[in-house]
Amino acid sequence: MSPRVRIAIVGGGISGLTAAYRLRRALGPDAHLDLLEASGRVGGVLHTTTVGGRTVDVGAEAFIVRRPEALELVTELGLADRIVSPTPRRPAVWSGKRLHPLPSPALMGIPAGPAVVDGLADPEDVDRMSGEPDRSMRWEAGADTSVGQLVADRFGPSVVARSVDPMLGGVYSSLAGDIGVREALPALATRLDAGAPSLTAAVGDLLAAGAGASGPVFGALVGGYQVLLDALRTAAGIEPEISCPVTDVTPSGAGWVLDFGKPRDPRPYDAVLLAVPAWRAGELLGRSAPDLSAPLRAVRGASSVVVSIALAPGTELPDHSGVLVGTGEGLRAKAFTFSSQKWAHLSDADRPVSVRASFGRFGAVVPDETTEPGVDDRLRREALEDLDEVCRAAGVAPVSSRVVDAYVQRWDDGLPVYAPGHLAAMSQVLAARPSRLALAGSSYAGVGVPACIGRAGRAAAELLADLT
């Protein structure tokens, strides 16, 4: 392999930056790596900013530490001392105009048994759960269905709306009815494929198998995700080209040519890594790889908005790490994160109290100031009105009069929708990729930061194998 190999990484989110870092480590300082980002900054859906004088994440804020990819990368970059764990406080669920304990034990909101959701689910659905182990299980091995359909059939619709939807909404910005079982819960699908006699038995087996796991599930970084983004950029030895949208990707000899439209000239590369959403990759490959383009363009995106709020120091909140809102429960927000109560490093008594309000799920329009002037002010108002209602229900004084700052972050098509069959379709796409072109990002192997890091590393390895 020539030390002067030229590789383009299209997309400057965590996937593109990780891929650039892996390629630099493998190829050394002489390799020519271009990281091209269409927007005005790198990071993608990871974005750290200042609200009320405090550094906070207004995109993803945490990662699963029981998956190795993020933890290993952070440690490899010398940032292990930045990792923090959540406090012992637990989230609550908003239903019936009051707060309920988050169902536990549960598997992504699917309760282990009827007692877990007694008082939260409708009584008839609690009874339905009690009798579920005695009902015949209809499941076709290898098939896929939505999580919502499966749970509603076995446990009842109120269990979906008040337990499963709130959990999946926070991860995928989608309802349970939009998300495939194999996509969100592959281990559950495997248990059912193997002949689990009921959903209760399958969930119980999986929870028991994980009962020996110790330590926290989630971690975050002091200083926010910007710390990781900066470390990757430095270690990769690259200067990203921002506001640099790519318009076309075409084969040329053994490599590829990127077009940018005016005023930039086309550039030839030995290899290209597309670290962009699936539908965007499909658009770029529309002329050169139409069979690959079609399934990529078929992937849909879910939009959301985060309203980050800074309250005056000492402001009291309900004694939870946050609140997940059941479907159809009257609040406009889908969730609140009480960041200063969830993370100890944000809990200084003399600093503003940090709260995140989240809006938006797949299928719901997320307007911007262009289509709805003043919408950001409306979202701030609705976030505070909903938060006041939650506080009153918990016996805490309303907080809207104690706001010192607020920031609205919009994520248009921020997450791909993992509909039933999505992973199978993406697996076929990855298997059919052309030589010297690789795909990375949240569309292929999971939406979480560890999954994106893992897929980026595999995409980089694929290119290296092609170039050898």
Cis peptide before 105 (omega within 30 of 0): yes
Return the CATH superfamily for domain 103-209: protoporphyrinogen ix oxidase, domain 3 (1.10.3110.10)
Q: What pLDDT does 1 receive?
A: 54
> Bigger pLDDT: 1 or 110?
110
pLDDT of 110 over the 80 cut: yes
Q: What pLDDT does 305 receive?
A: 95
What confidence category does residue 16 fall into, taking pLDDT thresholds of 50, 70 and 90? Answer: very high
Report the pLDDT averaged over residues 195-211: 93
Domain positions in the chain: 6-44+226-300+418-467, 103-209, 301-416
Report the pLDDT averaged over residues 226-255: 96
Residue 54's nearest CA partner among 393, 343, 385 is: 343
Return the CATH superfamily for domain 6-44+226-300+418-467: FAD/NAD(P)-binding domain (3.50.50.60)
By percentage, how much of the chain surpasses pLDDT 90? Answer: 92
Q: What pLDDT does 210 receive?
A: 82
- Count CB atoms within 10 A of the CB of residue 81: 9
pLDDT of 211 over the 70 cut: no
Cα angle value 152/156/159 (rounded, 5°): 90
What confidence category does residue 363 fall into, taking pLDDT thresholds of 50, 70 and 90? Answer: confident
The fold adopted by the segment(s) 301-416 is Polyamine Oxidase; Chain A, domain 2 (3.90.660)
Q: What pLDDT does 367 receive?
A: 80
Q: What pLDDT does 213 receive?
A: 67
Q: What pLDDT does 223 receive?
A: 97
Report the pLDDT averaged over residues 344-367: 91
Q: What pLDDT does 216 receive?
A: 81
**137-194, pLDDT tens digit by residue?**
989 999 899 999 999 999 999 999 999 999 999 899 999 999 999 999 999 999 999 9
pLDDT of 217 over the 90 cut: no
Residues 6+ apart with CB under 8 A from 12: 35, 36, 37, 39, 41, 42, 43, 44, 240, 242, 275
CA distance 48 to 354: 13
Backbone angles phi, psi at 7, to 5 degrees: -130, 135
7, two tokens = 């590789």
**267-303, pLDDT tens digit by residue?**
999 999 999 999 999 999 999 999 999 999 999 999 9
CB 352 within 8 A of CB 372: no
Give the sheet arrangement for strand 83-84, strand by strand.
63-64, 218-221, 83-84
Q: What is the mean pLDDT of the chain?
A: 95
What confidence category does residue 387 fall into, taking pLDDT thresholds of 50, 70 and 90? Answer: very high
pLDDT of 215 over the 80 cut: no
Q: What pLDDT does 4 receive?
A: 86
Q: What pLDDT does 361 receive?
A: 85
What confidence category does residue 212 fall into, taking pLDDT thresholds of 50, 70 and 90? Answer: low
**54-108, pLDDT tens digit by residue?**
999 999 999 999 889 999 999 999 999 999 999 999 999 999 999 999 999 999 9
